[in-house]
């Protein structure tokens, strides 16, 4: 009987696997392209070579031989009937045409119905052309094609040649198992050819001088020959010459002659030739003759003759109504009269005008038809008054909750391109209170801010200095705000005023200096939370002081580098932010007598934080992302504490996801309940030193759903010894033993307008446990004094957006 059960099990298993891999959908003489491998390529990344496959194997889940995408496709194919969808398309058109006819002469209603009709018909057309949803989520079985294998070999050969391996050889071997074929591409790279001689033939002394004086060439002697660098070098020369006045220069004039026999012995000589235009016979340097700036293009008024004309600092302004301060506008125009044409200055001007947030579009073109170069700038103004509202789901470190934003914006307040903005917000989310985790309570946060932004530095500096600073997008922002927070353990009110200067020296580097940030904070504590703080105070912990009426003043500086638009696309991109804050600095000069007289807590501290993030695409369906985040905050006032919001916390959906928000650490501190003598994560834990990191592998699952495997590590510590929290202090000889580790898996639902994230975190190494039992998987989750609730093997997190 056991043999019968085993045979039935094996039969069912083999049928399931064959269906999941797709072999059951093959014809008798067909085989499945199961895998493709590249061997022998030591100098070139296999990820780059794998992009050259002409035929792709079906995607599989990691580790297990399971390809659900094939099953999805054929399940959808069974339900796919082109004729029915075509009939549905015709009936849908007829239905909406009838509604449109009923609308009569109501033009707005007709336009609205036409949009709906097009949208629904487009959806059906997509199904007819690409298949139904299941077919689009899935993929047909990959039938091995020997001809496509040969094409891939050709691609690999050409790619190796393009990287300087001119003697590379590519062949294949097949591993066949039943109806499955694994293709192995064997590459013998051979020696690399290197750049040895670089020659320039421009036929123009001015161009020759420009190119010879440039030390940014991408062609460098001694490096491997790389064809992609020739393309990049062509782009560089084109931009360089256009920045030196060669307005009508084109990449087609640049020619590279590559010779591998000039010096022999795997040495490459490259001659860069700048060809002359056929008609003129030479490359002309263009000088900007005049600049026209139309500030209200597309305003709806037909006659251009009604526009007023005014010249200011070499720019001729044209407008129906004089709205803008021309001194500030001229600072954002980097194109100068009587200067040589520059493509970079043209792009920078467009970007600087866009940064003002006053124009719907900015268009810059040049007219060279009369033998001169005339720059024409056209802008269309945005509405001066703007109301916006937003409803959504808010997740910070708890459970999701709704929020509502309402904002009013007034542009050009004093005709100096200022922006006045009032923003109101109210939001709710589910949080575990600071003194327990067994229940979830509603946290309410409401606030209103008023800000005034100037497109310049409001400082006592000369007009000449402001003129020079115009190209770095200078802004001054004055802000006053009020925030109300209602949590289970306290109600906290914060009245704030700040003055911030921001600027950019490049498109990817942002600087921010907050010269003044002043807050008045008042807290109303629940009796239970107050009792907890008083117990801590009796043990030497001064956390209670952060919840007394407080005066907080600080100044801060931050630099943010954003390479390749991190957070906006999934290309190879990175993000680095360095932050430095000094609290209570002015109190060192003004004294604290007034604050002491009014019984206000005050704080003096230094805080620093560095946050680095990186996204690295592995292939079109897989991305590697990682993050390192560290910081330190040192209080030096008499009370030896920080404002509560200035502490570091660990755990939660955007941190170490195997621990609840703010429940990890500090150090090896194990929070033992004095009544039960068991571990209890009832209390939020704050620290003055933070070290944490994360690494994620993100892959597409189906359609708009991605999944991720992640590992998080880190902890917080105190700088000084905390008698109420044994093991909390940072010490060099043991801090590395107190770095917590968690791992897990998650799903990401990308709805285009937001990303909903579900993560499940599993504790692997818990520094709060006794030495020898910190690797939980080997020692057990529920060893005393850890209760099942305190151990919490798996922690579920909900988030909006990616964790980093």
Pick the last residue of a domain from 364, 381, 398.
381
722 shares its domain with 671: yes
| 91-120 pLDDT, tens digit each | 988 988 888 888 878 888 888 888 888 899
Q: CA nearest 766: which of 746, 788, 793?
A: 793
316 shares its domain with 205: no
Is residue 400 included in any domain, yes or no?
no
The number of C-alpha atoms within 13 Å of 765 and in the hemisphere containing its C-beta is 15
| 761-789 pLDDT, tens digit each | 988 898 988 887 888 765 555 555 555 55
793 shares its domain with 658: yes
How sure is the predictor about 649, in pLDDT bands with cuts at 50, 70 and 90? very high
Q: What percentage of the chain carries pLDDT values higher than 70?
A: 90
Distance separating alpha carbons of residues 566 and 264, to the nearest angstrom:
44
Beta strands, E only, 382-508: 385-394, 401-411, 419-431, 441-454, 475-486, 490-506
Q: Report strand pairing: 509-525 vs 550-563.
A: antiparallel
Q: Report strand pairing: 441-454 vs 573-583.
A: unpaired
Average pLDDT over residues 233-244: 94
- The answer to whether 409 and 401 have CB atoms below 8 angstroms apart is no
The number of C-alpha atoms within 13 Å of 15 and in the hemisphere containing its C-beta is 6
- The answer to whether 435 and 532 have CB atoms below 8 angstroms apart is yes
H or E segment at 195?
A: strand 194-201
Average pLDDT over residues 63-74: 78
Residue 63 has pLDDT above 80, yes or no: no
Name 442's bridge partners. Answer: 430
Q: Which residue has the higher pLDDT, 670 or 437?
A: 670
Peptide bond just before 133 cis, omega within 30 deg: no
**How many domains, the chain?**
4
Structure tokens at 449: 């801010």
Which residue has 């928000």 as its token pair? 661
Pick the last residue of a domain from 274, 304, 339.
274
Neighbours of 166 (CB within 10 A): 16
794 shares its domain with 666: yes
Is residue 782 included in any domain, yes or no?
yes
Is residue 26 included in any domain, yes or no?
no
DSSP 524-570: EE-HHHHHHHHHHHHTT--GGGGGSSEEEEEEEEEEEEEES-BTTB-
251 shares its domain with 320: no
Structure tokens at 546: 């952060």
Q: CA nearest 59: which of 739, 785, 706?
A: 706
Residue 13 has pLDDT above 60, yes or no: no
804 shares its domain with 703: yes
Distance separating alpha carbons of residues 758 and 764, to the nearest angstrom:
19
- The answer to whether 607 and 581 have CB atoms below 8 angstroms apart is yes
Helix axes 227-242, 205-213, angle to 10 degrees: 120
Pick the last residue of a domain from 216, 245, 274.
274
Distance separating alpha carbons of residues 185 and 46, to the nearest angstrom:
11
- Does this model's pTM top 0.95? no
Which residue has 């200095």 as its token pair? 465
Residue 571 has pLDDT above 80, yes or no: no
Integer-rounded Cα Rg, in Å, for the chain is: 33
- The answer to whether 603 and 585 have CB atoms below 8 angstroms apart is no
How sure is the predictor about 612, in pLDDT bands with cuts at 50, 70 and 90? very high
- The answer to whether 627 and 804 have CB atoms below 8 angstroms apart is yes
Average pLDDT over residues 52-76: 81
**Cα separation values, 407 from 387, 388, 419, 420, 448, Å:** 6, 5, 13, 11, 9
Phi, psi of 103 (to 5 degrees): -70, -20
Is residue 677 included in any domain, yes or no?
yes
Residue numbers of the domain that contains 96: 81-130
Burial grade of 577 (CB within 10 A; 0-12, 13-18, 19 or more): middle
Distance separating alpha carbons of residues 178 and 162, to the nearest angstrom:
37
How sure is the predictor about 791, in pLDDT bands with cuts at 50, 70 and 90? low
Distance separating alpha carbons of residues 244 and 264, to the nearest angstrom:
37
- The answer to whether 699 and 798 have CB atoms below 8 angstroms apart is no
Helix (H, G, I), strand (E, B) or coil at 615: strand
Structure tokens at 681: 């994560």
99 shares its domain with 224: no
371 shares its domain with 245: no
- Distance, CA of 188 to chain centre: 39
- pLDDT score, position 5: 42
How many residues are listed for the chain in this entry?
804
What's the chain's average pLDDT?
A: 85
728 shares its domain with 796: yes
260 shares its domain with 296: no
Average pLDDT over residues 388-397: 71
Q: What percentage of the chain carries pLDDT values higher than 90?
A: 39
Q: What is the arrangement of strands in the sheet containing 180-188, beginning at the earlier edge strand?
A: 32-39, 180-188, 169-177
Name 407's bridge partners. Answer: 388, 423
Q: CA nearest 110: which of 94, 92, 97?
A: 97
- Poorest-pLDDT segment among 136-140, 461-465, 587-591, 717-721: 587-591
Is residue 697 included in any domain, yes or no?
yes
Is residue 100 included in any domain, yes or no?
yes
- pLDDT score, position 23: 77
318 shares its domain with 226: no
Structure tokens at 108: 């707005």
Which residue has 């460098």 as its token pair? 220
| 3-state SS record for 122-146 | HHHHHHHHHCCHHHHHCCCCCECCH
Distance separating alpha carbons of residues 211 and 196, to the nearest angstrom:
19
- Poorest-pLDDT segment among 37-41, 669-673, 686-690: 669-673
Helix (H, G, I), strand (E, B) or coil at 786: coil
- The CATH code of the domain that includes 223 is 3.10.20.310
- Poorest-pLDDT segment among 53-62, 208-217, 773-782: 773-782
| 409-429 pLDDT, tens digit each | 999 999 899 999 999 998 877
**50 DSSP assignment:** H
- pLDDT score, position 500: 96
299 shares its domain with 258: no
Is residue 684 included in any domain, yes or no?
yes
Neighbours of 244 (CB within 10 A): 19
| 132-183 pLDDT, tens digit each | 888 888 889 989 999 999 999 999 999 999 999 999 999 999 999 888 899 9
Residue 433 has pLDDT above 70, yes or no: no
- pLDDT score, position 14: 47
Q: CA nearest 518: which of 500, 491, 503, 543?
A: 500
**644 DSSP assignment:** G
- Determine the straight-line distance between the first and last CA of the chain, rounded to whole angstroms: 55
- The answer to whether 164 and 193 have CB atoms below 8 angstroms apart is yes
DSSP 22-44: TGGGS-TT--EEEEEEEES-SSS
- pLDDT score, position 454: 95
Is residue 802 included in any domain, yes or no?
yes
């Amino acid at each position: 009987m056991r043999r019968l059960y085993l045979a039935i099990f094996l039969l069912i298993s083999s049928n399931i696997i064959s269906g999941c891999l797709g072999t059951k959908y093959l014809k008798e003489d067909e085989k499945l392209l199961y895998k493709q491998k590249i061997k022998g390529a030591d100098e070139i990344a296999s990820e780059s070579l794998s992009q050259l496959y002409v035929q792709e194997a079906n995607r599989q889940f990691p580790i297990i031989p399971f390809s659900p995408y094939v099953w999805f496709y054929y399940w959808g194919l069974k339900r796919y009937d082109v004729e029915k969808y075509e009939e549905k398309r015709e009936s849908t058109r007829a239905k909406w045409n009838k509604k449109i006819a009923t609308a009569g002469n109501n033009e707005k209603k007709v336009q609205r119905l036409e949009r709906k009709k097009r949208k629904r018909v487009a959806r059906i057309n997509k199904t007819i052309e690409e298949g139904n949803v299941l077919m689009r989520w899935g993929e047909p079985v990959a039938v091995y094609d020997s001809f496509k294998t040969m094409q891939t070999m050709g691609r690999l050969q050409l790619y190796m040649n393009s990287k300087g391996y001119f003697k590379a050889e590519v062949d294949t071997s097949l591993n066949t198992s039943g109806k499955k074929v694994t293709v192995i591409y064997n590459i013998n790279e051979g020696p690399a050819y290197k750049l040895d001689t670089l020659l320039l033939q421009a036929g123009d002394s001015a161009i020759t001088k420009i190119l010879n004086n440039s030390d940014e060439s991408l062609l460098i002697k001694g490096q491997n020959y790389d064809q992609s660098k020739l393309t990049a070098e062509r782009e560089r020369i084109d931009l360089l010459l256009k920045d030196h006045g060669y307005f009508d220069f084109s990449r087609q004039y640049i020619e590279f002659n590559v010779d591998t026999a000039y010096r022999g012995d795997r040495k490459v000589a490259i001659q860069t030739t700048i060809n002359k235009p056929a008609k003129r016979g030479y490359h002309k340097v263009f000088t900007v003759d005049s600049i026209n700036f139309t500030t209200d293009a597309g305003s709806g008024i037909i006659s251009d003759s009604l526009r007023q004309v005014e010249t200011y600092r070499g720019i001729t302004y044209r407008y129906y109504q004089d709205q803008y301060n021309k001194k500030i506008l001229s600072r954002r125009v980097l194109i100068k009269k009587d200067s040589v044409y520059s493509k970079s200055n043209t792009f920078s001007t467009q970007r600087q005008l866009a940064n003002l947030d006053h124009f719907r579009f900015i268009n810059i073109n040049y007219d060279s038809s009369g033998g001169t170069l005339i720059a024409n700038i056209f802008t269309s103004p945005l509405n001066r008054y703007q109301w916006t509202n937003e409803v959504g789901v808010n997740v910070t470190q708890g459970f999701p909750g709704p929020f509502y934003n309402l904002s009013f914006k007034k542009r050009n307040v004093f005709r100096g391109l200022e922006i006045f903005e009032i923003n109101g917000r109210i939001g709710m989310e589910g949080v575990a209170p600071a003194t327990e985790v067994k229940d979830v309570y509603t946290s309410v946060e409401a606030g209103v801010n008023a800000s005034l932004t100037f497109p310049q530095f409001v400082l006592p500096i000369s007009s000449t200095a402001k003129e020079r600073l115009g190209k770095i997008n200078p802004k001054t922002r004055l802000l006053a705000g009020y925030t109300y927070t209602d949590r289970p353990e306290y109600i906290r009110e914060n009245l704030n005023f700040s003055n911030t200067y921001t600027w950019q020296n490049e498109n990817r580097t942002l600087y921010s200096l907050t010269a003044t940030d002043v807050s008045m904070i008042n807290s109303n504590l629940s009796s239970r939370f107050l009792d907890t703080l008083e117990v801590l105070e009796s043990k030497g912990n001064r956390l209670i002081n952060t919840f007394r009426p407080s005066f907080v003043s600080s100044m801060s500086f931050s630099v943010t580098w954003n390479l390749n638009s991190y957070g906006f696309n999934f290309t190879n991109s990175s993000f680095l932010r360095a932050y430095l804050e000094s609290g209570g600095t002015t109190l060192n000069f003004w004294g604290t007598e007034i604050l002491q007289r009014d019984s206000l807590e005050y704080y003096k501290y230094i805080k620093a934080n560095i946050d680095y993030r990186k996204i690295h695409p592995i292939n079109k369906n897989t991305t590697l992302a990682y993050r390192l985040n560290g910081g330190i905050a040192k209080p030096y006032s008499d009370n030896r504490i920080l404002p509560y919001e200035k502490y570091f916390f660990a755990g939660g959906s955007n941190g170490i996801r195997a621990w609840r928000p703010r429940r990890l650490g500090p150090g090896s501190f194990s929070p033992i309940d004095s009544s039960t003598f068991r571990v209890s994560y009832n209390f939020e834990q704050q620290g003055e030193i933070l070290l944490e990191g994360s690494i994620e592998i993100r892959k597409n699952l189906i359609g708009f759903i991605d999944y991720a495997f992640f590992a998080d590590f880190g902890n917080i510590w105190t700088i000084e010894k905390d008698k109420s929290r044994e093991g909390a202090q940072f010490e060099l000889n043991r801090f590395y033993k107190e770095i917590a580790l968690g791992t897990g898996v998650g799903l990401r639902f990308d709805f285009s307008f937001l990303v909903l994230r579900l993560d499940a975190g599993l504790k692997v190494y818990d520094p709060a446990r006794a030495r020898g039992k910190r690797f939980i998987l080997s020692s057990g989750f529920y060893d005393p004094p850890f209760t099942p609730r305190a151990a919490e093997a798996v922690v579920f997190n909900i988030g909006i957006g990616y964790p980093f």
